[in-house]
Amino acid sequence: MLRLILISVGLFSIFSSKAQKVESSAYELMLSGLLSHSVNEIGVDEFAKATEDYLILDARAEKEFKVSHIEGATWVGYENFDLSTIEDMPKDKPVLVYCSVGYRSEKIAEKLEKAGFKNVTNLYGGIFEWKNQGHSVVDTSQNETERVHAYSRSWGIWLNKGKKVYE
């Protein structure tokens, strides 16, 4: 029992020593281990308040994007990502990349940086955290929707608001 308490206290001190970027401590713990933190990251609150004009890229599968996405986002995908689809985009403009939780978008952000994009940022916690914190998403007709593709039932546990879609 004492060991469990010490481990819990140790984990608490790890997470209390740095700013948590998502609302759930369990989600924060999962993300801290899943992501390599190899690119700039921005929390949902910080991005929602940002005054910069970001180019927003969605790194999820096209079927996920079609269910809903952050308003103004351009779909670039992950599995079949091709730099030529964004070759006309200015490399000095701030770019925000997101996916469901931040893993796929982190990998796309790495590719963008290698391709010479100067100001690339990953949305920490992804569209799940965006929706969890009460921000809106839109469908392909640009109408606000509660539907969010939850990727899979195992990953969908991190989406706490909105209507989960798995198709």
| CATH number, domain containing residue 45 | 3.40.250.10
Does residue 133 lie in a domain region?
A: yes
Does residue 104 lie in a domain region?
A: yes
Most distant CA pair in the chain, distance: 59
Does residue 24 lie in a domain region?
A: no
Percent with pLDDT over 70 in the chain: 88
Residue 78 bears catalytic tag: no
Structural domain of residue 146, as residue ranges? Answer: 37-165
Q: Summarize pLDDT for 41-68 with one digit per residue, the tens.
A: 999 999 999 988 999 999 999 999 999 9
Does residue 136 lie in a domain region?
A: yes
Number of H helices, E strands in the chain: 6, 9
Domain count, the chain: 1
Does residue 6 lie in a domain region?
A: no
Query: Residues 62, 73: contact at Cβ < 8 Å?
Result: no
Residue of 42, 67, 70, 99 marked catalytic: 99
Does residue 31 lie in a domain region?
A: no
Q: What pLDDT score does 12 carry?
A: 44
In this structure, the number of other CB atoms found within 10 A of the CB of residue 158 comes to 21
What confidence tier does 19 reach under pLDDT thresholds 50, 70, 90? Answer: low
